[in-house]
Structure 1
């Protein structure tokens, strides 16, 4: 169901809020908070957390991060100003980059989730007219294929798996400035890193799926709120992400006497 509202003399569409989408986004951001706390405890305070060294833990981390990106892509279909949202998100990401460069130079954040989300929103804002010309089912399928083809770029090859992929030239990676795309140099280090390739295709697949959400074509449960605390967290994910690390640092300072 959609209706309209007038903002600054311009009529804009308003869509029914998707409570389940807020809940999934809230759950994902809380999982990210738990992950970062575990990371800090393990690597900063030498408190061994065994699950962080299991291979499946990285897979689970990427699944939740991917779900967050997908939901954010869906949310872009609801927004009337993705460019502004993208600039704000990227700007906050850069503030975090400078804070870590000053206070924790050994743990830089060069293209983390906020940088990724900001750039993805801006790309979508610029290209939305082109993206929307592609039927949603086709767009979702193409995004899935492109994700599989580009998922190995961070590791030096093009293809779904190293054994069946094409090795990419080393000079692309040694250039040093293409890390936002996934071409990271051997010396590259970032404690939070989600390059545009392959992750932008997850965001874009979410944007195509969002078409069904704004047209009320999703199941009824999608539009209902089942857990108010999760839904509330999902509406303030940016603030939770920005504030959770300073709060954690204060807590660790009280417990361990140092940051």
Structure 2
């Protein structure tokens, strides 16, 4: 979920736009299933079953991974700092909006550090890795991904610290992607972009379906913010 526009080239990488568009479909499928369970139209506990948990984390991980790719593409040829800070601020404001909206809507499970929060932090922390060799970045990414499964402490169980990622019991939230392990996929995305170098910028999408997916990928933040209210509203009209 990364509206990276720090360079004219970055937002025109068809492969990345297409990948985001496909990830958006996965996100919509998961949230639609969640909403069906909310309206008691499918078996309770469906979305907390192992297959759906794996699916949800794969979709979330793909967005974070692609945000890492976009950061490297934006820095190629020199970072446009005003655009970088502006686009980062847009995502940060959107993250704050999600927190405020869910605080009023579902306070016990409000989103205090979701995927948008993680992308903002990833973009900032990722700046330190722009000159790190991609292979080393990938190794650090794997370590970041693995560390919270090896190191846990009840000290991190509160919402004030759970966003770091070492909680023994995570606070309940509708969307929680702590820095550890989720900065790992971000770094892996940076490493992949570094290894791919200029390959990601080539290609033209001819198929109209693929072009539509790429268009959605270029507007992933807006779609992320509006899709769930639209799904919930539509289902409410049908089921009450």
TM-score by length of 2: 0.81
Partner of 1:65: 60
Q: How does 1:76-91 map to 2 (within 5 A)?
A: 76-79=71-74, 80=80, 81-91=83-93
2:57 aligned with 1:47, yes or no? no
2:218 aligned with 1:251, yes or no? no
Partner of 1:203: 186
Unaligned 5+ runs, structure 2: 1-5, 75-79
Structure 1 residue 30, shift from structure 2 partner: 1.8
Partner of 1:241: 224
- Greater radius of gyration (CA): 1
Q: Would you tell me which structure has more helix in proportion to its own residues?
A: 2
Task: State how far apart, in whole Å, the 2-side matches of 1:174 and 1:206 are.
Answer: 28
| Root mean square deviation of aligned Cα | 2.6
Partner of 1:98: 100
Instruction: Classify 1:25/1:13 alpha carbon distance in 2 versus 1 (closer, same or farther; 3 Å).
Output: closer
Partner of 1:164: none
Task: State how far apart, in whole Å, the 1-side matches of 2:153 and 2:102 are.
Answer: 32
2:140 aligned with 1:138, yes or no? no
Cα deviation, 1:157-216, whole Å, max 9, x if unaligned, reads 42xxxxxxxxx342x224541111114474711011111101112112212322345x42
Unaligned 5+ runs, structure 1: 1-6, 159-167
Q: How does 1:162-177 map to 2 (within 5 A)?
A: 168-170=152-154, 172-174=155-157, 176-177=159-160
Task: State how far apart, in whole Å, the 2-side matches of 1:90 and 1:16 are.
Answer: 19
Answer yes or no: is the 8 Å Cα contact 2:108–2:172 preserved in 1: no
Task: State how far apart, in whole Å, the 2-side matches of 1:20 and 1:94 are.
Answer: 29
Structure 1 residue 251, shift from structure 2 partner: 0.9
Structure 1 residue 52, shift from structure 2 partner: 2.8
Instruction: Classify 1:25/1:187 alpha carbon distance in 2 versus 1 (closer, same or farther; 3 Å).
Output: closer
Instruction: Classify 1:142/1:173 alpha carbon distance in 2 versus 1 (closer, same or farther; 3 Å).
Output: closer
Task: State how far apart, in whole Å, the 2-side matches of 1:217 and 1:201 are.
Answer: 23
Partner of 1:17: 12
- Report the number of matched residues: 224
Partner of 1:223: 203
Instruction: Classify 1:238/1:211 alpha carbon distance in 2 versus 1 (closer, same or farther; 3 Å).
Output: same
Partner of 1:180: 163
Task: State how far apart, in whole Å, the 1-side matches of 2:219 and 2:184 are.
Answer: 24
Partner of 2:77: none
* Residues 19-28 or 50-59, more deviating: 50-59
Partner of 1:31: 26
Instruction: Classify 1:196/1:223 alpha carbon distance in 2 versus 1 (closer, same or farther; 3 Å).
Output: farther
TM-score by length of 1: 0.76
